[in-house]
């Protein structure tokens, strides 16, 4: 199928190029120009008063936690997990995760997210929902080795990887996901590393999220989490490390040297009072940093625009440096960096030969005027409701804010019913 987006402004790195046409054939962008005589077009999209930009990438979430949105708030991470979330998650059934994931997918597509990394349970159901939606995903079975038979727990993640990695024409990728150093023993993590090498896939884990975690790991093993993971060889395979709030300069050097991708979750880290990651120092040391929302029960949404705005503003105040995270870096973290961290190096920018993974942002709204600087407006003024159209691998998932692949009304009904049924079982 050949799709032509006409008369659109295009965000390319830190500048906007006006009045261009984007020709998409199958899953790729094959031409960007201002010419008018395109032939054999199957479908046209009017891009007037819109900016085409790379789709947003959520590098860390737990999608089906939409079912617990608003259920447990204003708590410490320890209380939130151990007293509220984990007891409810123990009741989850496969069908709950399927509908909770679909609810999250609706929310993500409507806010312009075209790819995400997820770590949770009943991941076959998440993969089924992703398959139906048309979005891209890096999926992982969450593994907590202290909770049972280590071999059985690892085998669940391995079998899921064998079933789903690179399925849906490469739209679904799989990582192994040991939850965190405080829930997975080093001996188990070494098994995970060996399997990741065998399967040629990466590892997705939580790392140095709270001060208490760092203190406890250091007391047990004599090393901080990052140093411990480095010692056992975790970073010898591609790693997506969520949070990295409490890392020192030497650990940042390790993350940079080993090519670890960091999922920065500013809103969740603030809400759970975990702290503020040293993102400025990470960027200075060339650590690949992406953005994530974390789960929608600790955020409480999947809106990447809020993360973009927050990462740019938060670190200015935290560092007392107005250029700590410039607008360009915030956008790059949410797009190109995210795609590279998740393994899609042919996406994340609007460029000929790259994947047709893009969104159209409606700029004919009061908060985009006066039009001094569109890059600035996208970071500091734009929001989820400005996303008009979403295209992934050349397939239109949303146009004029109408979802094309998912039944939004049915999904909201089914997800709410299951959420309240879970709480009633308490």
CA atoms of 25 and 4, how far apart (whole Å):
9
The 10 Å CB-count burial string (b at 16+, else e) for 180-191 is bbbbbbbebbeb
CA atoms of 66 and 83, how far apart (whole Å):
18
Backbone angles phi, psi at 110, to 5 degrees: -70, -20
Nearest to residue 4, comparing CAs of 38, 34, 42, 44? 44
Q: How far is CA 190 from CA 118, 232, 240, 300, 354, in A?
A: 22, 7, 16, 34, 36
Nearest to residue 283, comparing CAs of 244, 309, 236, 317? 244
The neighbouring-strand residues paired with 247 are none
- Taking domain 2-54+354-403, whether its CATH number is 3.40.50.720 is answered by no
The neighbouring-strand residues paired with 204 are 240
Q: Say which residue the tokens 């593994």 belong to.
A: 143
CA atoms of 190 and 258, how far apart (whole Å):
17
- CATH 2.30.40.10 range(s) for the chain read 2-54+354-403
Q: Is residue 45 within 8 Å of 85, Cβ to Cβ?
A: no
For the CA atoms of the chain, what is the radius of gyration?
21
CA atoms of 375 and 156, how far apart (whole Å):
44
Structure tokens at 193: 């590393």
pLDDT for 221-238, tens place per residue? 999 999 999 999 999 999
The neighbouring-strand residues paired with 32 are 22
Residue 134 CB partners (closer than 8 Å, separation 6+): 171, 392, 393, 395, 397, 404, 405
The top-level CATH class assigned to 56-342 is alpha beta
Structure tokens at 58: 């959520």
**Cα-Cα-Cα-Cα dihedral of 82, 86, 87, 88, to 10°?**
140
CA atoms of 171 and 364, how far apart (whole Å):
32
Which pLDDT score, from 0 to 100, does residue 14 have? 85
Q: Is residue 377 within 8 Å of 363, Cβ to Cβ?
A: yes
Structure tokens at 116: 């995400």
Angle at CA of residue 406, ends 57 and 51, nearest 5°: 45
Mean pLDDT of the chain: 96
Q: Is the peptide bond before 300 cis (omega within 30 degrees of 0)?
A: yes
- CATH 3.20.20.140 range(s) for the chain read 56-342
> What SS3 class is residue 132?
helix
CA atoms of 115 and 357, how far apart (whole Å):
9
Proportion of the chain in helix, strand, coil states, percent, rounded to 5: 45, 25, 35
Report if pTM > 0.85: yes
Going residue by residue through the chain (426 aa), what tens digit of pLDDT does each one get?
999 999 999 999 889 999 999 999 999 999 999 998 899 999 999 999 999 999 999 999 999 999 999 999 998 878 888 899 989 999 999 999 999 999 999 999 999 999 999 999 999 999 999 999 999 999 999 999 987 899 999 999 999 999 999 999 999 999 999 999 999 999 999 999 999 999 999 999 999 999 999 999 999 999 999 999 999 999 999 999 999 999 999 999 999 999 999 999 999 999 999 999 999 999 999 999 999 999 999 999 999 999 999 999 999 999 999 999 999 999 999 999 999 999 999 999 999 999 999 999 999 999 999 999 999 999 999 999 999 999 999 999 999 999 999 999 999 999 999 999 998 876
Which pLDDT score, from 0 to 100, does residue 86 have? 87
* Positive or negative torsion for Cα 305, 310, 312, 313: positive
């Amino acid at each position: 199928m050949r799709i032509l987006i006409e008369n659109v402004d295009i965000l390319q790195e830190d500048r906007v190029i006006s009045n261009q046409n984007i020709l998409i054939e199958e899953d790729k962008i094959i031409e960007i120009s201002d010419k008018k005589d395109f032939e054999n077009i199957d479908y046209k999209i009017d891009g007037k008063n819109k900016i085409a930009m790379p789709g947003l990438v959520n590098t860390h979430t737990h999608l089906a936690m939409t079912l617990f949105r608003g259920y447990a708030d204003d708590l410490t991470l320890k209380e939130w997990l151990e007293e509220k979330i984990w007891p409810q998650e123990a009741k989850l059934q496969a069908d709950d995760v399927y509908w909770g994931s679909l609810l999250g997918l609706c929310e993500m597509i409507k806010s312009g997210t075209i790819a995400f990394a997820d770590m949770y349970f009943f991941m076959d159901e998440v993969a089924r929902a992703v398959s139906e939606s048309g979005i891209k995903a890096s999926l992982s079975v969450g593994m907590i080795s202290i909770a049972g038979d280590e071999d059985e727990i690892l085998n669940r993640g391995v079998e899921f990887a064998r079933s789903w990695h690179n399925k849906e024409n490469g739209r679904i990728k799989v990582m192994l996901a040991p939850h965190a150093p405080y829930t997975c023993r080093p001996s188990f993590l070494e098994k995970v590393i060996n399997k990741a090498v065998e399967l040629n896939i990466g590892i997705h884990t939580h790392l140095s999220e709270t001060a208490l975690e760092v203190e406890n790991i250091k007391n047990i093993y004599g090393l901080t989490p990052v140093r411990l993971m480095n010692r056992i060889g975790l970073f010898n395979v591609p790693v997506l490390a969520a949070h990295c709030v409490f890392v020192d300069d030497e650990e940042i050097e390790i993350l940079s040297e080993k090519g670890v991708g960091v999922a920065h979750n500013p809103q969740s880290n603030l809400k759970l009072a975990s702290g503020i990651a040293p993102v400025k120092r990470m960027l200075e040391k060339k650590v690949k940093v992406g953005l994530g929302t974390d789960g929608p029960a600790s955020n409480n949404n999947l809106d990447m625009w809020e993360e973009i705005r927050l990462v740019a503003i938060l670190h200015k105040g935290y560092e007392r440096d107005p250029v700590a995270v410039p607008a360009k870096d915030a956008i790059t973290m949410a797009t190109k960096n995210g795609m590279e961290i998740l393994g899609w190096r042919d996406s994340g920018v609007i460029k000929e030969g790259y994947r047709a993974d893009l969104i159209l942002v409606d700029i004919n709204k009061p908060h985009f005027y006066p039009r001094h600087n569109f890059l600035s407006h996208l970071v500091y003024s734009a929001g989820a409701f400005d996303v008009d159209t979403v295209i992934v691998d050349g397939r239109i998932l949303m146009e004029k804010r109408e979802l094309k692949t998912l039944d939004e009304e049915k999904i909201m009904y089914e997800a709410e019913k299951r959420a309240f049924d879970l709480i009633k079982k308490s």
